[in-house]
Amino acid sequence: MPKFLYGVALCLIIAAAGVMYNIWEAPWKNAVETGVAPIENINLQSETVTLTKLDDTEVSSEIFSGKPVLMFFFTTWCARCQQELPQMLKYQKAQAENAHIVLVNASAQEPSLSKAKATLQEAGAKSVLLDKEGVALEQLQIEYVPYMLTFNADGDLTGRFPGGAERSNIEQKLFADD
């Protein structure tokens, strides 16, 4: 009889795990693949986000007007981010005429800002902006890295990509108005 109860208990645990997966993981899996995580009404021109250049001068999100914007949030300690950063730097150069590709180091999540800056400079990432206090992460409702946001030329949020996404999915949201 006890073996029977162990079997029933195991079945209940497996069923509960499946239910929890469907509640918590499945919606975000689709969001990562398609860029359709919940989109709040965020406008990059009206929601002023202030970031810092590597030389400590401040930059406002208002300068990213007139073109679509892709914001890539990352840290230097994140393995996935380290893989994405060189590709994003190349993409930034390739899309300079068509879009603002903004690379944002989530500096508030870095163990050492000075080490993060040194790592970025070694990688040739001179155009990276810093979110030193985590204010941009909070304003734009970003909980972890890597994370990408796309905005149209009017500054309206068009896509959220928690954990990254395929370039074609990102471009579909980035250039949606074209």
Closest C-alpha among 121, 9, 32 to residue 80: 32
More confident residue, 99 or 34: 99
Give the per-residue pLDDT at 47: 77
Domain with 29, as residue range(s), is 1-34
Contacts of 49 (CB under 8 A, 6+ apart): 60, 61, 135, 136, 139, 140
Same-domain status, 124 and 160: yes
Same-domain status, 29 and 115: no
Residue 115 in tokens: 């080490």
Same-domain status, 71 and 106: yes
For residue range 44-80, list pLDDT tens digits in order. 877 788 999 999 999 988 888 889 999 999 999 999 9
Residue 97's CATH number: 3.40.30.10
Q: Number of folded domains in the chain?
A: 2
Give the per-residue pLDDT at 105: 96
What SS3 state is found at 139? Answer: helix
Answer yes or no: pTM beyond 0.95. Answer: no
